[in-house]
Amino acid sequence: MADNTGDINLPSQVTPNRSRWDEATQAYVGPLKGDGWLGPLIKPGSSPHNPTVMSEYSIDDEINGQPVQYPSIVPTLSKSEVQSILNSNEEDKLPDSVYRKAKDFATQRLATGQSPFAGPGEQHNLYPELPRAPSAMTIPPPPNPSVRDMIMKLLR
């Protein structure tokens, strides 16, 4: 999946957008992401009654020698580049232009002290003809811990 083009070190891995509950730490691990730069997009060909929704695939890479994760769907992509991501599977290699634009966008955001991921209210209404789902900006509740576990966590 990794190949180098000029000075750009293309990412070696694309991972799905998800955080997971870690039983050991009793916390969500991994970046907790929201609706993405273009909002929650519906993948083509998914069931209308239970659509597959995505806001991005995260890219693991290095910027300025530091490991960083950033979104693949950014406002600088063309419509065809966004569609190529929506039509891809997790193991598919995306077009090189997607990797370059995503890295450039992340580098610019990080240089100004901002997260490469979209925060609330930063979504763009680019390509309104692409089907979208309702906002996914709700954090799922953790598994039901016992009262004892909750007290023990507070005492730590």
Q: Is the pLDDT of residue 1 over 80?
A: no
- Asked if 71 contacts 107 with a C-beta cutoff of 8 angstroms, the reply is no
pLDDT class of 85 with cuts at 50, 70, 90: very high
pTM of the model: 0.67
Whole-angstrom distance, CA of residue 117 vs CA of residue 70: 6
Task: State whether residue 80 is helix, strand or coil.
Answer: helix
| Alpha carbon of residue 147 to chain centroid | 33
Contacts of range 82-88, beta carbons closer than 8 Å, 24 or more positions apart = 82/38, 82/41, 82/126, 82/127, 82/130, 83/44, 83/130, 85/54, 85/56, 85/57, 86/41, 86/43, 86/44, 86/54, 86/130, 87/43, 87/44, 88/57
Range 39-52 average pLDDT? 88
Whole-angstrom distance, CA of residue 37 vs CA of residue 49: 25
pLDDT tens per residue across span 64-81: 999 999 999 999 999 999
Q: Is the pLDDT of residue 44 over 80?
A: yes
DSSP-assigned letter for residue 132: B
Orientation of helix 79-86 relative to helix 96-111, angle to 10°? 110
Range 107-127 average pLDDT? 90
Q: Is the pLDDT of residue 5 over 50?
A: no
Q: Is the pLDDT of residue 9 over 70?
A: no
Q: Is the pLDDT of residue 55 over 50?
A: yes
Name the phi and psi angles at 41, rounded to 5.
-100, 145
Whole-angstrom distance, CA of residue 53 vs CA of residue 42: 4
Task: State residue 144's pLDDT score.
Answer: 57
pLDDT class of 26 with cuts at 50, 70, 90: low
The size of the chain, in residues, is: 156
Q: Is the pLDDT of residue 11 over 50?
A: no
pLDDT tens per residue across span 91-101: 899 999 999 99
